[in-house]
Amino acid sequence: MDELSPSPAHVTVLLREAVDALAIQPDGIYVDGTFGRGGHSRAILERLGPAGRLIAIDRDPQAIAAGAELARQDGRFSLHHATLGELGAVLRRVTGSEDGAVNGVLADLGVSSPQLDQQDRGFSFRFDGPLDMRMDTTQGETAEDWLNRADEQEIGEVIWRYGEERFARQIARAVIAARIIGRIRTTRELAELVGKTVRTREPGQHPATRTFQALRIFINQELEEVELVLPQAVRGLRTGGRLAVIAFHSLEDRIVKRFLQNAAKADHLPSKLPIRANEVNVATLKIIGKPVRASDAEVSANPRARSAIMRIAERVETRT
Ligand SMILES: C[S@@+](CC[C@H](N)C(=O)[O-])C[C@H]1O[C@@H](n2cnc3c(N)ncnc32)[C@H](O)[C@@H]1O
């Protein structure tokens, strides 16, 4: 496909594996928290019977528009413009309860190919476009506005923390110096500025890769969103319900991994200890299998799949 085509497709990562992970019951209620272009959603709908339901969420208005026709055609499917962090509120609105309402939740985190490949979204250094980087273009501050108002220390911290970029301080200094001459407006301006500042290239990587990743994560509060959605997903699951999360970088995956490990851990205390039941940690999840990665065949067909890692867990009975 032409890289600059206006509406590039999204190739779904871990398609069968993710849908298998949800262990779909035909009359169950499922959540696709990251609709994108609906690859996972369509596969879930294929496994649902007439009484099943799928509640999909995306914060990107273009994803919502792309799924509107499916929502019109299929009465089992509804699509909501919301963030993952609003999962509980969406469940309350759609099912009447945010507690034990659904049989499975899937989150395929990060950006979609259409977001990356559309130059006017400003996510990619490969094209020249406005430095926007918001997944939800209806609200929030653009990368351009932030980059032109933040101070040097803030910029350095963001690029270091979310990009793990060794040259974060130097890049921040270069941004401030460039701002004296004029506003930084485009992806190309930023990519060139970073390219001049980052002296050592990682093999096969554009020098601006880490900076763009950092800004994107920061502008969309991506890590905070993961922190917010996980407990809401656990609350939303019925006993036996499945949670599957696909992460694309280690910062995100670390949050998922720690959350699942903690949720799967119960306190083992001597039975005669004089403490109240609500002071004891009860396991809410059971981890299912090992983390799943894309096969070699998938990675060679879709290089984006290389960094994907999916973790799966099941809601366990917590009533005592
Ligand atoms: C990797 S794509 C999902 C692709 C999808 N599974 C498919 O097969 O087409 C991620 C999507 O999730 C959305 N997204 C990412 N973070 C989100 C969040 N915190 N809240 C809501 N949507 C989010 C993005 O806008 C994007 O459309």
pLDDT in tens, 111-144: 999 999 999 999 999 999 999 999 999 999 999 9
What's the pLDDT score for residue 8?
61
269: CA distance to ligand 1 center in Å? 41
117: left (phi over 0), alpha (psi -120 to 50) or beta: alpha
CA 103/CA 202 separation, integer angstroms = 43
Sign of the CA dihedral running 93, 226, 310, 6: positive
What's the pLDDT score for residue 320?
46
227: CA distance to ligand 1 center in Å? 16
- Nearest Cα to 247, choosing from 310, 299, 292? 310
Question: What token pair was written down for 254?
Answer: 């670390």
42 lines ligand 1 (CB under 6 A): no
Residues of the chain short of pLDDT 70, as ranges, are 1-8, 269, 271, 277, 279, 319-320
Mutate to test the pocket of ligand 1, among 35, 54, 80, 228 (most ligand atoms within 8 A of CB): 35
- Cβ 219 vs Cβ 289: under 8 Å: no
- Report which protein residue has its CA nearest ligand 1's atom 25: 60
CA-to-CA separations, 225 to 50, 221, 255, 256, 278, in angstroms, rounded: 32, 6, 11, 11, 27
- Report which protein residue has its CA nearest ligand 1's atom 22: 58
What's the pLDDT score for residue 267?
72
Mutate to test the pocket of ligand 1, among 57, 59, 252, 304 (most ligand atoms within 8 A of CB): 59
CA 36 to ligand 1: nearest atom: 27
60 lines ligand 1 (CB under 6 A): yes
CA 141/CA 133 separation, integer angstroms = 9
What's the pLDDT score for residue 205?
87
- Report which protein residue has its CA nearest ligand 1's atom 21: 83
Mutate to test the pocket of ligand 1, among 112, 228, 309 (most ligand atoms within 8 A of CB): 112
182: CA distance to ligand 1 center in Å? 34
- Cβ 211 vs Cβ 159: under 8 Å: yes
304 lines ligand 1 (CB under 6 A): no
Angle at 112 between CA 259 and CA 123, to 5 degrees: 100
Q: How far apart are the first and last CA of the chain?
A: 56
What's the pLDDT score for residue 5?
40
- Tokens 């101070």 locate to 151
314 lines ligand 1 (CB under 6 A): no
* Total residues belonging to the chain: 320
Any alpha helices (H) in 237-301, and if so which ranges?
250-263, 296-301
CA 10 to ligand 1: nearest atom: 9
59 lines ligand 1 (CB under 6 A): yes
Task: Please report how many Cα atoms fall inside a 13 Å half-sphere around the Cα of residue 116, on the Cβ side.
Answer: 14
- Report which protein residue has its CA nearest ligand 1's atom 8: 39
What's the pLDDT score for residue 157?
98
- Cβ 126 vs Cβ 264: under 8 Å: no
63: CA distance to ligand 1 center in Å? 8
